[in-house]
Structure 1
Amino acid sequence: MPARSIASLSLSFGLVSIPVKLYTATESSSDVRFHLLAPDGSRVKQQYISEKTGKVVERSSMNKGYEFERDQFVVFTSEELKALEDGASHVVEIVAFVPEKAINPVFYDRAYYIAPDKRGGKPYSLLQQALAQSGRCALAKWAFKGRTRIVQVRPEEGGLVFQQLLYADEVRSLDDLNIEQVQVSANELKLAMQIIEQGAEDNYDPAAYEDEEKKRILAAIDEKIEGKQVITHEPVESVGGGQVIDLMDALRASLKGGSAKPNAASAPRKKAATPVTALPVAPKTRKPAARASRATTEAPAKVRARK
């Protein structure tokens, strides 16, 4: 199946604008995924409970809170947070060119590919070849999903890689680990170098390595299927959450003059609750704190557990 682009962008290269398509470079769906099941074989669904009342909390009544001190929050509505986000832009502005090896791979986040869009073939090839010949990569700013990100555009054989980078405060320093530096002898270093030379290869071939654990899991799954160790559980109406109504049932109910309860996922949302103002506190040094999690029970999401 041909790859499908996830965005159309315009890569700004000096006075040249290169229309490109953005594609994901990695595939996470290859993982073997398991569902959580109850003892009777039915799927379990997640609900969120108020710590204070013990009752299920609906999404429409939730806001997001930042915990600046233990059990003390400042609260934001969805509208307030939306106003703080960077506006999405299809323009990716190159701001610098640096040696490719100047970027420590520990700063690499998610990788994408970019390919030329209509009328973008020549400037795309020009940028690719110029970067390859110079030994440099481009640093650019990219506004995406409410946040401005820094990306590296580097040449590869056949195209350009669009590598999202982490910010400095997102990467821990090795200095924080206080690793002891121990002196080694010249003979010890010489033997270590010999071992490295024996195992040295010119290139990394990812196809030469396989996910052995995944192979074992898939083989075990096949054995259980062949041995008829299969649980079949008929779906039932959800309990404690929004009731799911079959389309045909809703149509029949309409013909009879009845009313079917709407699916929670399609029901109109209530207005967000009035923002809660944190109580005044004495000025003190702020410390990093975890964000209060936001959750939903309006249409409980399927819970998946990864191996």
Structure 2
Amino acid sequence: MRAIWKGAVSFGLVNVPIRLYSATENHDVQFRQVHREDGGRIKYQRICSIDGEIVSYDDIAKGYETEDGEMVVLTDEDFKELPATSSKEISVEKFVPAEQIDPMLYDKSYYLEPDKASTKPYILLRDALEKENRVAVVTVSIRTRMTMAVLRVHEGVILMQTMLWPDEIRKPDFATLDGESKATKQELAMADLLIEQLAGDYQPDDYEDDYASALQALVKAKVEGGEVQFAPESKDESGEVVDLLAALKKSVDKAKASRGEATSGSAKPAAKASAKKTAAKKAAKKAS
């Protein structure tokens, strides 16, 4: 694993230098959009919806759309005025019982690894959290924005899990559950019996992502069967101006053809001939 952040955990007067690692990874199979005929990758343009021009990354800003459809453009200077911090400190605010944190609040998970010189205080914090069955509520700044998180122990390692803000949790509002319909004693007894019959311990290895496995097997079979396409890479690495001009040309030709007009393709030879005649005339004048 590769560390993505370096900082320190501070609680009281204790400071524990650590490195941060992503604790999870996405194993979903990733697809690319391609041309069905030859397998060529589909390219996209950054085009302004108003003037139709290609926009460079330098000219792209962040915009906030209001409820009535108006767009507020925010500049780099605007963002500099917002509260931000570049602190490399994971500051413990308080230690709370683990059951008080609703799992729904958890967001992303990260492993904390101590520096060699800070192994002892790291182990002290880890063992104390386990002994007291508590988690440490902390504040941490990741990518300049402060967020809440908790520290807890997972398989002998301190795990940091960032948290959603309370107002990011939607409240369920289902009218169908507000009625007078209730389960009878007999129905509850039968449900209890069913739960008892299906009771057991959670074993992660008992479950498998059969869709991903089947998809990977399908791709492997196609590769081994020679069902692959080798689309040549475009000579124009940017693919922006050339692709846009080609797309516009095709659109113009299609529009002209629908009106029964001559397309640019049919007019091209005449244009070339005209150009050759003009060049010949110029050459004759110079010679005289």
Instruction: Find the aligned partners of 1:151 and 1:221 in 2 and give their Cα distance.
Output: 40
2:232 to 211, 229, 234: 234
Aligned partner of residue 148 in structure 1, secondary structure: strand
Report the CA distance shift for 1:82/1:42 in structure 2 as closer, same or farther (over 3 A).
farther
Give 1:35's aligned residue: 32
* CA deviation after TM superposition for structure 1 residue 83, in Å: 4.2
What TM-score, normalized by structure 1, do the two folds share? Answer: 0.72
SS at match of 1:180: helix
CA distance in 2, matches of 1:178, 1:11: 46
Which range is displaced more, 94-103 or 51-60? 51-60
Answering whether residue 189 of structure 2 is matched by residue 199 of structure 1, we say no
Q: Deviations over 1:6-65 (max 9, x none)?
A: 12221011111111121111011x221111112332111111222222222222222222
Q: Work out whether residues 88 and 145 of structure 1, in 8 Å CA contact, stay in contact via their aligned partners in 2.
A: yes
Normalized per residue, the structure richer in helix is: 2
Pick from 166, 174, 178: which aligns with 1:177? 174
Distance 1:63 1:50 in 2: 12
For 1:67-114, what per-residue CA distance to the aligned partner results, in whole angstroms no more than 9, with x for missing partners? 224332222113432442512211111001111111111111001111
Decide whether the 8 Å contact of 1:19 with 1:118 is kept in 2: no
2:111 to 90, 106, 113: 113
Question: What is aligned with 1:275?
Answer: none
- CA drift of 1:179 comes to 4.8
Q: Does 1:10 align with 2:8?
A: yes
Alignment of 1:295-306 (within 5 A): none
Partner of 1:40, secondary structure, is coil
Alpha carbons 2:8, 2:90 under 8 Å: kept: yes
Structure 1 gaps of 5+ residues are 244-307
Q: Report if the CA contact (8 A) 2:126-2:153 is conserved.
A: yes
2:189 corresponds to which residue? 190
User: Could you say what secondary structure the match of 1:189 adopts?
Assistant: helix
Q: How many residues align?
A: 238
Task: Summarize the Cα distance change of 1:178–1:16 in structure 2 as closer, same or farther, 3 Å threshold.
Answer: farther
- Of 120, 127, 130, the match for 1:129: 127
Q: Residue 296 of structure 1 aligns with which residue?
A: none
Partner of 2:216: 218
Look up the match of 1:71: 69
Which deviates further from its counterpart, 77-86 or 215-224? 77-86
State the SS of the aligned residue for 1:119. helix
Q: Which ranges in structure 2 are unaligned for 5 or more consecutive residues?
A: 243-288
* Paired AA for residue 124 in structure 1: Y
| Aligned residue runs from structure 1 range 58-97, under 5 A | 58-84=56-82, 86-97=84-95
1:21 aligns with 2:42: no
2:239 and 2:77 map into 1 onto residues whose CA distance is 29
Q: Distance in 1 between matches of 2:134 and 2:60?
A: 47
The secondary structure found in structure 2 opposite 1:131 is helix
Q: Which amino acid aligns with 2:132?
A: S
> What CA deviation, in whole Å up to 9, does each residue of 1:126-153 have, x standing for no partner?
1111111112111000011021010010
Structure having the higher Rg:
2
- Tell me what 2:161 maps to: 163
1-side partners of 2:49 and 2:91: how far apart? 46
Worse-superposed segment, 222-231 or 233-242: 233-242
The one of the two structures with greater contact order (alpha-carbon pairs below 8 A, sep at least 6) is 1
Cα RMSD (Å): 1.9
Alpha-carbon distance between aligned partners in 2 of 1:156 and 1:223, rounded to the nearest angstrom:
38
Instruction: Provide the C-alpha distance between the structure 2 equivalents of 1:155 and 1:240, rounded to a whole number of angstroms.
Output: 49
Counterpart secondary structure, 2:58: helix
Quote how far apart the aligned CAs of 1:185 are.
Answer: 1.3
* Letter aligned with residue 196 of structure 2: E
Deviates more, 1:158-167 or 1:234-243: 234-243
Q: Answer yes or no: is the 8 Å Cα contact 2:93–2:136 preserved in 1.
A: yes
Contact 1:25 1:111 in 2 (8 A): yes
Percent identity among equivalent residues?
A: 36
